[in-house]
Chain A
Amino acid sequence: MGRVQRGFGRLRLGRRTKAVNGEAMISKEQAGDIFDRIRRYSSADEVEVFFSGARFALTRFANNAIHQNVEDENCVASIRTNLGGRTARAAANQFDEASLRRAVEASESLARVQEPDPDLLPMPDAREAAGTDRSVRVTRFFEHTAAITPGDRSEAVGRIVAIADGHKLTTAGIYSSSESVEGIFNSRGLAEWHSQTLAEVSITMLAEDSSGWQKLNSPDVRNLDPAQLAETAARKAVESARPREVPPGKYAVVLEPSAALDIVGFMFWDFSGMAILDQRSFLNGRIGTQLFGENINIWDDAAHPLQAGSPFDGEGMQRQRVQLVEKGIAKRVVYARGTAAKMKKSELADKAGPIKATGHGFLLPNEMGEMPQNIVVGGAEKPQSVDQMIASTERGILVTRLWYIREIDPYEKIVTGMTRDGTFLIENGKVQFGLRNFRFNQSLIGMLLNVEATGAPVRACGEESFDMVVPAMKVKEFNFTEVTRF
């Protein structure tokens, strides 16, 4: 039961076909022209336009056949206007004059009816947005991914189905590819643009009473090996057949990277200056304290080679690398510009750690402030493979996937959820048999105090949290509270 491995895809890439509307994706120059028109239509003190566009395709299969197969493309111009300390936003996906004028008028009307906000900052210029730390310049656009055709996807799915048929299993899943752009322009001369591609494969293999799952994505489709993912999922389904029931309780658990990602992801909304100011963060009163085990190191790094996404935030500020947790101590949180300015004046400032704009803000205006979204969870100096973690476990549970995770207690960070698609009993250092799935109720604070081993961090994706660079983890005393029927 090794961890997910990366390999080279065996796609035979077809000629790149035309987009859904026959045109290329919007370019920075075209977006700049639209911004210039919007600016002419506006009488506001400041104008900002955030562009987000994508051409997205997904081939979906179930019962060993393709049952949905979709492509769409869209581009949205989200217009923010500032009038005398009042700001509001309106969005449109049509760029004719009437539509843009309507959106500008809507934004300005919404702004005019508000009271001035004394905390609203002027928009940043390019110099402020660039920051003082290193700027993120990574390549996340790969022609191989952009060139994927419907025929390519259907061929890849055909091979996955053939693997399922070979194992006498039923398969369901997706193969998707996309090309996306994000850009921001403002009337202070800021103009940032980012384009990227992403390919993703998610495969479930189902037997009569068991299942297995694997999922992976990458901006570069050559990093994906659908056949290998299919074989791993199939092996999990076969080896967890005739699942047995063991009683709920506290067990050592080996979490594969996607499972670790999905559960730890629930705490990152709280690593926000605004969450501290609003007193809704589990870090209120805990920054600077030994909150987790000394082997826990977490940082946010948009430039990490295994990350995806744009290098700037909702105001165009460059995303800075931020050490969130160091040797188990909660060091600091991230800040949008406005939140940093507000925190400096707050009575909570002396308990909030370093206060500085870090380039993690959401589009303004918003209530939530900011959030780290390029998480790297560090591994041990001597990482262990999943097989090594299993070998060191006297009695425990191997978990492939966690599901339907929801927060129970916001301050103790207790979350609940289920295991799914490949849950196994480990005994005497070996995987013994498949298990009926568990419900857990686990404090994330408690969990990260109990990490006994980690693997090497890998790019992983799940369903409950955003993509991260995260290792497999062995955790002691993980709290399984109930067993379900399968």
Chain B
Amino acid sequence: MRDIAQLALDTATARGASYADARVVAIRNRSLATKNGRVGHASESDSLGIGIRAIANGAWGFAATADLGRDAVVVAAARAVEIAKASARVKREDVRLAPEPAAVAEWTTPHRVDPFSTSVEQNIALLVRADAQVRAVEGVTLTETGMNFVREESWFLSSEGADIHQTKYSTGAGYTAYAFAGNEIQKRSYPNSFGGQWQNLGYELIEEMKLVENARRVGEEAVALHRAEQCPEGEFTVILDGSQLGLQIHESIGHPIELDRVLGMEANFAGTSFLTLEKLGNLRYGSDLVNVVADARQEHGPGLGTFAYDDEGVAAQSTRIISNGRFTGYLSSRETAHMIGAARSGGTVRAEGWNRVPMIRMTNVSLLPGESPLTLEQLIADTEHGIYMETNKSWSIDDKRYNFQFGCEIGWEIRNGKRVRMLKNPSYSGITTEFWNSLDAICSRQDWTLWGTPNCGKGQPQQVMGTGHGASPARFRKIKVGSAYKGS
């Protein structure tokens, strides 16, 4: 693979590229699902190809092909340069890359059990057992389970001498129970909704999840939601569980801090950002308790955003995004670093597969846990009146990342420190900075989980990327609740 990548670089530079890099990527995927006790699908896939970036005449070009024959790679590399020269016909300034030491490295996701070494029978049997436990609950009308493994092996070479070989493993699983009755469909998911929980780990993650042990409770809650009262509308104290908070972080912190978005590069599709450059170091993003990092290093945890080097050869780093409530950092690339006066890229450039161009993506954007000991039950006990919401059901935010609305699968009203009744269809909305400034308590490390969002979409053509978000449950004051059903 290295020879093929080097051939691409040699061709690109011979054709006039001032910089070139090549990523050969081999991806294997196993995807399994059950529905109502039967296998819904069982599939595997392999994808292999090369993606070549080139800068020529001060502008970018990119070409990718699945044909790794020498002739095809030469044509693709030449094409990348041709495209770059076409780009240069409509440019305002030359691309400028922040310097980065050319790394030569090998790295593999630390894991105990290669998920692909586990038998499919074993995988399906586990899903069927969880499925059966959910369906044993009367009133459950549909059960869906899923399990996925991904191995991505990449060879990155650059015309600056970088030579990085990485192998990443991602594992995910979960299930959802649906209960249809009357004119309502309610659902409950575990460990998380929309695909479950994901991390960059081996099969040991599946074992940690305790899928079967939680299945009956999940089915019971889906059915119980039909008897629950509708979440009231009004202004309330809200406690969010860690999984919902992870998505809140993703949408209202992770995306607005993408520097390419701030600079207008996503304006046509994913939008821009309210975090214009003069706000760096000045904006009060959240309360004093809010500390957020973007950390791709293994020591942060086995998140979907963990790696050794990003997809333009920059070493994984930790960037302080919000420091005691103050906005202090963006997600940056070699091309954008100079826009914020940074001498170096923040190492957050990632690409989906081999045939997509690397771009700024979230790594693991996490809210640090509270420093004082505080469990979820203690936080609830400390709350006079509020609503505790768990597990995301819907999410929506405007194209500058101000106005958001989230719905959750289940809620509980809290009165005098106790959960007093279950609530259905809880939702809340707000403005990003007002919301984060209303945070007044965060649970501590024992309740902190590094959640995985496997399906973040961005870019044109669109790229799907996995991101990590660590969060403990937290409390927010004076939040607008119930807006999703207002006027219905």
Contacts and interface: CB of A to CB of B under 8 A. Distances in A.
A20 interface: yes
7 contacts: A21-B75, A117-B39, A149-B86, A172-B265, A203-B268, A414-B485, A463-B269
Interface in A243-286: 250, 278-280, 284
A322 interface: no
B51 interface: yes
Interface in B39-73: 39-49, 51, 59-67, 69, 71-72
Contact of B394 (A69, A149, A416): A416
B396 A154 contact: no
A443 interface: yes
Interface in B377-396: 393-396
Interface of B: 33, 35-36, 38-49, 51, 59-67, 69, 71-72, 75-76, 79, 82-84, 86-87, 89-93, 119-121, 124, 141-142, 144, 178, 180, 183-185, 263-269, 271, 274, 355-357, 359, 393-400, 402-403, 405, 407, 425, 427, 429, 431, 460-461, 483-488
Interface residues of A, number: 103
A407 interface: yes
Nearest to B73: A21
Nearest to B335: A67
Interface string A469-484: 0000000000101111
A365 B65 contact: no
Nearest to A486: B400
Given A110-B120, A151-B86, A64 B268 contact: no
Interface in A122-160: 149-151, 153-155, 157-158
Given A408-B427, A439-B405, A418 B396 contact: yes
Given A68-B62, A439-B429, A111 B72 contact: no
A192 B86 CA distance: 37
A404 interface: yes
Given A20-B65, A439-B396, A481-B487, 19 more contacts: A18-B75, A20-B64, A21-B69, A21-B75, A68-B460, A74-B47, A90-B44, A92-B45, A114-B124, A115-B39, A151-B86, A174-B268, A174-B269, A403-B399, A408-B394, A479-B486, A482-B483, A484-B398, A485-B400
B267 A204 contact: yes
B136 to A, nearest CB: 18
Contacts of A66: 59, 86-87, 89-91
A279 B82 contact: no
Nearest to A73: B65
B120 A154 contact: no
A306 interface: no
A206 interface: yes
A75 B398 contact: no
A466 interface: no
A62 interface: yes
Contacts of B267: 62, 170, 172, 204, 206, 211
Contacts of B42: 88-89, 110-111, 113-114, 365
B268 A414 contact: no
A56 interface: yes
A70 B483 contact: no
A103 B46 contact: yes
Given A23-B67, A410-B185, A443-B488, A72 B87 contact: no
A76 B47 contact: yes
A204 to B, nearest CB: 4
A476 to B, nearest CB: 14
B460 A404 contact: no
A109 interface: yes
A70 B62 contact: yes
Contacts of A99: 46
Contacts of A202: 268-269, 460
Contacts of B62: 68-71
